[in-house]
Amino acid sequence: MTDSSSPALRFGLFMPQIGCSATEMIAAARNAEKAGFDSLWIMDHLYAPGAPQFDTLESWTLLSAIAASTSSIRLGHLVGCNPFRHPSLLAKMAATVDQLSGGRLDLGLGWGSVEEEFGIFGFEVGTRRERAEQLGETIEILRKMFTGEPFDYTGTHFRLSGAYGRPTPVRGTIPIHIGGAGKQLTMPLVAEHAQWWNCVASARSRFDELAPLRGAARISVQYPVGVVVDESSRSKVAERTARRMPESGWGEPLIGTLDELAEKFESEAERGVELAIVRFHDRADPDTLDRFGREVIAPLSGG
């Protein structure tokens, strides 16, 4: 399946908090940590796009609770919606969660693409290009806030005078992940500002076209995954995966046995993917996490 010359691959679990209690989310995080997942990712929406009837916990409050209930797994958003928060407030929130977690926060950001959400909840936002510009300025402000030193900032969209951020992040800064696939608005931001480019699941078919535009950013990719325990369940797993993560929004799913999935992820690592972020068809059943950890994560991560 793999050998010592194969590139190591880390795994993250994407667990959007749709119709889940805080207790269930904390349990999923603990199970993922025990199974060997490198990171846990949640969504940042005020409702569930496409499924507005479900309860949706506020993301930063939830992330704080998960941080206090875990010890090693890294935490973040796929992705944080930049227009929801002023950059100085976002910097304070991020540094606080980073402190609570002992330096385990990864800061996923996007310029906000669900325009219906802004109208529903009363956010006055600019055009798509203006929101992309605002994200660039936000990241510049975040980095200045993270130093703990006073600074002035004059941009097109934000102005700060004598601002500073205390406390600072545990390691002095927080890795920035920018998610998206737009050539004109998103990829230039990735190349200029991000430590990580997160290729959204629906853009995986364009990976070879987009990856060269990321600059020096490392690569993470989102995958919808259906785990087949035995052949008799394959069609049922495929149907459930399609219902939960339709191809219109998630692209072609990865469906297979654990051996088949390990082979698929090994080939993804060979393409330059360093972090595979998976969302499971069964909402991260504890047994699925455990099996995936033993039979996919351990051999591919070198563990």
50, with CB counted inside 10 A (0-12, 13-18, 19+), is exposed
Taking alpha carbons only, the member of 91, 59, 89, 86 closest to residue 75 is 59
139 falls within a domain: yes
**42 neighbors 302 (Cβ within 8 angstroms):** no
pLDDT at 303 over 70: no
pLDDT at 174 over 90: yes
144 falls within a domain: yes
CATH of the domain at 135: 3.20.20.30
Confidence of residue 97 (pLDDT cuts 50, 70, 90): very high
**pLDDT for res 107:** 98
DSSP letter at 4? T
Within a 10 A sphere around the Cβ of 276, how many other Cβ atoms? 24
**12 neighbors 41 (Cβ within 8 angstroms):** yes
Look at 205 and 51; give whichever has higher pLDDT: 205
Taking alpha carbons only, the member of 224, 231, 232 closest to residue 254 is 224
1 falls within a domain: no
**How many domains are there within the chain?**
1
Give the bridge partners for 107, in sequence order.
Answer: 176
248 falls within a domain: yes
Average pLDDT over residues 93-122: 96
Confidence of residue 5 (pLDDT cuts 50, 70, 90): low
pLDDT at 95 over 90: yes
3 falls within a domain: no
112 falls within a domain: yes
**110 neighbors 80 (Cβ within 8 angstroms):** yes
Average pLDDT over residues 121-149: 96
DSSP letter at 296? I
pLDDT at 226 over 90: yes
Backbone phi, psi, residue 51, to 5°: -145, 60
* Interval 188-225: pLDDT, tens: 999 999 999 999 999 999 999 999 999 999 999 999 99
The mean pLDDT value of the chain amounts to 95
**pLDDT for res 113:** 83
196 falls within a domain: yes
CA dihedral of 199, 7, 253, 56, whole degrees rounded to 10: -60
DSSP run (H or E) holding 80: strand 80-81
**pLDDT for res 3:** 54
Structural domain of 97: 10-301
Confidence of residue 7 (pLDDT cuts 50, 70, 90): confident
What percent of the chain clears pLDDT 90, i.e. is strictly above it? 92
d(CA 23, CA 292): 22
**Strand pairing category for 151-154 and 159-163:** antiparallel
Residues of the chain by 3-state class (helix, strand, coil), percent to 5: 45, 20, 35
Confidence of residue 302 (pLDDT cuts 50, 70, 90): confident
DSSP letter at 257? -
275 falls within a domain: yes
Average pLDDT over residues 37-62: 92
b/e sequence 215-225, b meaning 16+ C-beta within 10 Å? eebbbbbbbbb
Backbone phi, psi, residue 159, to 5°: -135, 130
